[in-house]
Structure 1
Amino acid sequence: MKVLLTSTLKRIHDPKSWRLGKGQDSFNYGIACVAAMAEKAGYDVECLDLFHNNWRAGDLERHVAEKKFDVVGIGFFTPQTDLAQKTAAVVKRVLPNSKVVFGGIHVTSVPVETLDETPEADACVVGEGDYTFTELLDCWRDGGDIATVAGIAYRQNGKARTSGPRGSVRDLDDLPMPSYHLFPMREYEVSPNISFRPPTVSFQVTRGCPFKCTFCEYTTVGGPKIRHKSIPRIIDEIRYLRDEFGFHSLVFRDSTLPTKRKFLVELCEAMIEAKIDMPWMCYSRVDLKLPRETFRLMKRAGCWQIGFGCESGNQKTLDRLKKATTVEQNMETLKIAYGEGLSISTTWMLALPGETVEDAENTIRFALDTPAHIAKFYLPVPYPRSNLERACREDGGLREGMSYANYDLYDQSDPIYVNPLIGKERQVRLTRDAYRRFYSSPRMWGRNLAQIRNLDMVKRYYDGVRLLLAG
């Protein structure tokens, strides 16, 4: 069987495409993991990044007509729902007898609804797809009943339904290395805000998240239990990325790399001993109570930046979000990390349900008072089945006629949720003002300029600020 795994088509006249540009993106790690299992099982697999390649429908039509794939898997997030449907329609128009499979966080949240809305899709992979997708291929190859495959949504007598649940992968070392070789790895480049020394690659060493933030949908796929690859496996993977593709720095894309402190310490010590010599950044939380010694060890191992999801400068908002953090922890942890010479990136949300203009202003002022080098301000994006989505519906702020195609993470000038206590124009203006005030702060510029060591860093800061302030 010939298998194609792909992203969705790109939105035509995408207003943000000029900002991100080809080369300022990252490959689809999830698709690479699924591809590796299918390759291991003996299937002929191709990975295609339609978004990165800037392909249009005609390009895809010609490609699938030439290759005549038996199965096409499409991975996507909520903002690409309509694009996934269009991609599936193109495939079915050219290859009506092929099988189309959807996967990702969105379809895991609403699998039955996704099938109901997309007649071109034959099945959805629900949860982690490493084993599920390959078993689905086996079933179609052998003429079996796909209802026996755990972890999917499928149709029976024209009605969408789900099969039995599939648990998370217990031992990540049982999985083969992601199929990096099926992607044009050196063509990718992550955002300059998180790239220390290009070219930079993003990859993942853990799965799962034990936290219960109301706005996040990550645990929908990863589950609540943290699992990680073994230290030797991680070191081997880093060496492969460095030696095979020539990457100079890393991004740990894990939602919270330091959740297990013992694992973090062992990883840092192993990177030092192995002389990896690649700068890296990761994401963390302010309530993990990492001591100064751990931040110092991380820096010795190559860590140059940590991203913190602070979210708010209001305790009542943090409580509503179930962050299990405090505003005091936000400030204290950022100061400790900054004091150890690390670059600090922060994210904040404005105009959440129940907030007033003063609450939003308070968050902006709080962000300005932190020692952060980077701050990103977002309006609420209520993902399917999340507690935040319920709160947005209950206060009447979720836009009427809203579809998942409106979930655009980058362009927030036309938000899908309008806080009734603030209003659309005011909350859009608040977000723009937050960026303007933060990035015109002399203290912010002083912190960033103090980190510059070479011309590459000058270019990184220039590109990063241009990207953040665009639009």
Structure 2
Amino acid sequence: MNKVLLFNPRSARTKPRIPNSILSIAAALEGIYGYAIIDGNLETDPWQKINSYLASGEFAYFGCTCMPGPQLRQAIPFSKQIRELYPDVRIIWGGYFPSNQPKVVLYSGFVDFIVNGPGEKCFPALLQALDKGQSYTSIPNLIYRGAQGIIKTGKDELYDQDALPRLPYETLNQFYPLRRYLGKTYLGTRTIAYHSSVGCPFKCSFCAVVPIYNARWRGKSAAGIYQDIKFLKDNYGGNAIEFHDNNFFVSEKRTVAFSKLIKDENMVWWGEGRIDTIDKYSDESLELMRASGCKMIFFGAETGNDEILQRMDKGGTQSSAQIRAFAARMAKFDIIPEYSFVLGTPADTPEQVMKQIDQDIAFIKEIKSINPKTEIIIYLYSPVPTEGSELYKKVLASGFHFPEQLEDWISPHWENFDLRKNPLTPWLTPEMVDKIKDFETVLNGYYPTVSDIRLSAFKRGVMRTVSAIRYKTGVYWKPYELKLLQLLWKYRQPEIEGF
């Protein structure tokens, strides 16, 4: 029986986390195909191990999950080398990047198939069809290159998460000690990375999830989540949780049920949600969440401009007034709101772009005055190919285009683009980018992130003192003294490195 080599490329995070996407595929292969797992985050030279497995002749398939950004640095050259050295090995990519950029991936010549969304049924079905020489054209959630160009098969339903096979943590532990994934973070000394749902029921025009899930969401039950977390706690010492769902808090009922179950386990947890969703939660629900260990929640605030929020297809009822009020409300429950803002959206004139940047900077400072504990994450706007989006139409009209060659995506400029740190967008001038980054440096000096557990009280005090005049007067230009301190003390940016 042909075996499958599953690869998780190295990410930007300094601490490895449980590779849930790879494990979900591994779970689907149990009892059907033999497999091996390679984690680029835990290998000095992943290619050496990849090559040794493939040289055995036992592996006919190479599966690679691939997010935009740093993971491409290994996914692209390794896949190319496999095609050159082992041309009979079928190469299958999954993840947000290939699903959103299928043309450049498939026309590279060294990726055969893309799993477009959940792969628990699609992936093993594809392997069986290839093994038997049968047609795969009717298998849902596939993208491949056909005679007429790029072909996308129909989207499958979102599967009942409780009905899917349990993730094979014990098998992962045979390849890599699972305790290595439970690292020290702001949340705890052994933090579990967990995925409890797929998709999101909203259609924000800048979000990479939208083209894949099309406003659909399906979550595991509270009991199912608790069972997994309890297993990882009891067997591997986990004492904190990062929920990496695109939207953990869709269902208040599920959140409340989980909070009741986890409350007595003495675990701190974090997740991602929407302001307009959680603002509908009752005070009792929020109190229970905090009592159960919920310490911080990530929210996409995006901007203080209501018109741009509408252009972003934010959906729901989110507004600048609600963003302000919600920051104040969260303070009452001692839950830290982590607000992300997207600065530099396209406008008709450069003057309008700069004006909006200035307004968002002022709005961010206003949020910090309302609730100083609010964590602020700043991104530069980077387009996502969302069909029908008015914002994306404006992007295309500006002359922006994505790379036409897959290997161009691993140039330093495009890697930073995927981290939303270097936009490569025609409407943003160097002056605008510098202003955003300089403000971010000053903001991080005056309000250092609580998630940087290495920063001592002394270092925080020094940074705040040095940045105070700049922050209060609005003179952000060239804050070299702060950049030097942040470089010297290796200041962590959670939007890149995580906790």
TM-score bracket, normalised by the shorter chain, equals 0.7 to 0.9
Residues 175 and 413 (structure 1), Cα distance of their counterparts in 2 relative to 1, 3 Å cut: closer
The residue type equivalent to 1:374 in the other structure is E
Residue 102 in structure 1 maps to residue 93 in structure 2: yes
Residues 458 and 33 (structure 1), Cα distance of their counterparts in 2 relative to 1, 3 Å cut: farther
Match of 2:416 in 1: 408
Structure 1 unmatched ranges of 5 or more: 11-16
Residue 337 in structure 1 maps to residue 330 in structure 2: yes
Residues 153 and 256 (structure 1), Cα distance of their counterparts in 2 relative to 1, 3 Å cut: closer
Contact residue 158 and residue 217 of structure 2 kept, 8 A: no
Contact residue 60 and residue 90 of structure 1 kept, 8 A: no
Return the alpha-carbon distance in structure 1 between the equivalents of residues 167 and 74 of structure 2.
Answer: 25
Residues 417-465 of structure 1, C-alpha deviation per residue, up to 9 Å, x if partnerless? 242xx51x22321222222232233xx46x95xx99xx99969x98998
Return the alpha-carbon distance in structure 2 between the equivalents of residues 414 and 232 of structure 1.
Answer: 42
Return the alpha-carbon distance in structure 2 between the equivalents of residues 76 and 344 of structure 1.
Answer: 29
Residue 327 in structure 1 maps to residue 324 in structure 2: no
Single out whichever of 316-325 and 125-134 deviates more from structure 2: 316-325
Contact residue 192 and residue 242 of structure 2 kept, 8 A: yes
Return the alpha-carbon distance in structure 1 between the equivalents of residues 101 and 74 of structure 2.
Answer: 16
Match of 1:381 in 2: 382
3-state secondary structure, aligned to 1:43: coil
The residue type equivalent to 2:151 in the other structure is T
Return the alpha-carbon distance in structure 1 between the equivalents of residues 99 and 204 of structure 2.
Answer: 18
Return the alpha-carbon distance in structure 2 between the equivalents of residues 303 and 218 of structure 1.
Answer: 25
Return the alpha-carbon distance in structure 2 between the equivalents of residues 26 and 431 of structure 1.
Answer: 30
Residues 457 and 181 (structure 1), Cα distance of their counterparts in 2 relative to 1, 3 Å cut: farther
Match of 2:39 in 1: 49
Alignment of 1:125-144 (within 5 A): 125-144=115-134
Contact residue 8 and residue 87 of structure 1 kept, 8 A: no
Match of 2:442 in 1: 437
Q: How many pairs are equivalent?
A: 443
Match of 2:270 in 1: 281
Residues 348-390 of structure 1, C-alpha deviation per residue, up to 9 Å, x if partnerless? 1111111522211221221122224421111112123463543
Contact residue 79 and residue 111 of structure 2 kept, 8 A: yes
3-state secondary structure, aligned to 2:114: strand
Return the alpha-carbon distance in structure 2 between the equivalents of residues 314 and 75 of structure 1.
Answer: 36
Match of 1:177 in 2: 166
Residues 256 and 162 (structure 1), Cα distance of their counterparts in 2 relative to 1, 3 Å cut: same
Contact residue 99 and residue 212 of structure 2 kept, 8 A: yes
Alignment of 1:351-366 (within 5 A): 351-354=344-347, 355-366=352-363
3-state secondary structure, aligned to 1:408: helix
Q: CA deviation at 1:81?
A: 4.8
Match of 2:478 in 1: none
Q: CA deviation at 1:335?
A: 1.1
Residue 162 in structure 1 maps to residue 151 in structure 2: yes
Residues 308-333 of structure 1, C-alpha deviation per residue, up to 9 Å, x if partnerless? 11111222221211213100111111
Residues 74 and 458 (structure 1), Cα distance of their counterparts in 2 relative to 1, 3 Å cut: same
Residues 220-267 of structure 1, C-alpha deviation per residue, up to 9 Å, x if partnerless? 333423211122211111111212221110011112222221222222
Return the alpha-carbon distance in structure 2 between the equivalents of residues 68 and 145 of structure 1.
Answer: 23
Residue 368 in structure 1 maps to residue 365 in structure 2: yes
The residue type equivalent to 2:397 in the other structure is E
What TM-score does the superposition give when structure 2 sets the normalisation length? Answer: 0.80
The residue type equivalent to 2:361 in the other structure is I
3-state secondary structure, aligned to 2:341: strand
Q: CA deviation at 1:303?
A: 0.4
Structure 2 unmatched ranges of 5 or more: 461-485
Q: Given the alignment, which residue of 417, 433, 443 partners 2:425?
A: 417
Match of 1:426 in 2: 431
Residues 98-152 of structure 1, C-alpha deviation per residue, up to 9 Å, x if partnerless? 211111222223435421x221222221221110001112222333222343322
Return the alpha-carbon distance in structure 2 between the equivalents of residues 305 and 413 of structure 1.
Answer: 24
Match of 1:14 in 2: none
Return the alpha-carbon distance in structure 1 between the equivalents of residues 40 and 32 of structure 2.
Answer: 24
Return the alpha-carbon distance in structure 1 between the equivalents of residues 152 and 309 of structure 2.
Answer: 37
3-state secondary structure, aligned to 2:376: strand
3-state secondary structure, aligned to 1:341: coil
The residue type equivalent to 1:361 in the other structure is D
Q: CA deviation at 1:176?
A: 1.0
3-state secondary structure, aligned to 2:238: coil
Residue 390 in structure 1 maps to residue 393 in structure 2: yes
Match of 2:140 in 1: 150
Residues 465 and 257 (structure 1), Cα distance of their counterparts in 2 relative to 1, 3 Å cut: farther
Match of 1:198 in 2: 189
Residue 2 in structure 1 maps to residue 3 in structure 2: yes
Match of 2:465 in 1: none
3-state secondary structure, aligned to 2:491: helix
3-state secondary structure, aligned to 2:121: helix
Let me know the Cα RMSD of the aligned residues: 3.2
